[in-house]
Amino acid sequence: MAVVLYITANPNDHETSYSMAVGKEFVQAYRSANPYDEVIHLDLYKMDIPELDADVFSGWGKLGAGSGFDKLNDAEKTKVGRLVELVDQFVAADKYIFVNPIWNYSFPPVMKAYIDSICVAGKTFKYVSGIGRVGLLRDKKAVHIQASGSVLSPGSALADFEMGHRHLNAIMEFFEVPSFESIFVEGMAVNPDHASEIKENAVQQAREVALCF
């Protein structure tokens, strides 16, 4: 049985959001094909995700210097402890489904906060003398579902402006995740007359990808 994290960064639900609508169809198709796998929904807008602030860096510094967790102050314990929970949950999972809209050419800030929480040396990557950075998630799979009003996917005229999928792709390469697929739901704002068709095409792609995920 595989454990799948369904990670959504959207304040809207599938009724009003293109990315969430396609994400829902992906999960339904996946569950039908893999009934014994566990799919855990992480709604980033409803989760406690500590920002990397002074308390976090102070706590990490104390731990790095050899202090025990019990020596941290209350704020450091709360934030550092929560970050450990998040990255441990991520590492323990087998597959990841990331879902987000594009806002101002990037994903919502809560997605960046989550990414920061899982980029942890010794957990998702490590440094090796003479080699450099080595990813530690070489047995995982990931898929990214992203919606945008403009057409921003690779090869489009605005592809260089897009910072959401490219950022997540860099992180997956950083972790050395070997399989990372993408589903773009895009162009609804510039082609409103074709919005329903664009959504349906993305839904069909999501169902097909889900069967092999």
Is 127 within any annotated ligand binding site?
no
> What does the alpha-carbon distance between residue 85 and residue 76 come to, in Å, rounded to a whole number?
14
Tell me which residue of 208, 211, 202 sits closest to 145, measured CA to CA.
Answer: 202
> What does the alpha-carbon distance between residue 85 and residue 19 come to, in Å, rounded to a whole number?
27
Tell me which residue of 55, 52, 49, 57 sits closest to 82, measured CA to CA.
Answer: 49
Tell me which residue of 155, 148, 146, 150 sits closest to 190, measured CA to CA.
Answer: 150
Is 45 within any annotated ligand binding site?
no
In order, the DSSP letters of 29-89 are HHHHH-TTSEEEEEEGGGS----S-HHHHHHHHHHHTT--GGGS-HHHHHHHHHHHHHHHH
Instruction: For residue 142, list its beta bridge partners.
Output: 96, 180
> What does the alpha-carbon distance between residue 47 and residue 186 come to, in Å, rounded to a whole number?
27
Is 19 within any annotated ligand binding site?
yes
- Binding residues for FMN are 17-19
